[in-house]
Amino acid sequence: MEEAYNRIAIERKLRGLSQQELADAIRVSRKTISTIETRRFTPSVVVALKLAYYFEMPVETLFTLTKE
């Protein structure tokens, strides 16, 4: 099964945010953010879009099928 890679940890750290701050901003739990970052949980389209809107970047930049 193909896995999705993501840049959430990188983008979050670039903006100096903690996992809790990001979680509060998009109204999910900190656990959701931490498990997405460690790729133990693949989020739904809704959460992926919320993250993309928050970081102001296309969702396909934030989530990819190939490791950068």
What residues line the site for other proteins (CB under 8 A)?
Answer: 12-13, 16-20, 23, 27-32, 34-35, 37-38, 40-41, 43-44, 47
Question: How near is the Cβ of 11 to other proteins at its closest, in Å?
Answer: 12
Report whether 52 contacts 67 (CB < 8 A).
Answer: no
Smallest gap from Cβ 58 to other proteins, in A, equals 21
- Distance (Å, whole) CA 9 – CA 18: 9
- E-strand stretches of 1-68: 5-6, 63-64
Report in angstroms how near the CB of residue 4 gets to other proteins at its nearest. 15
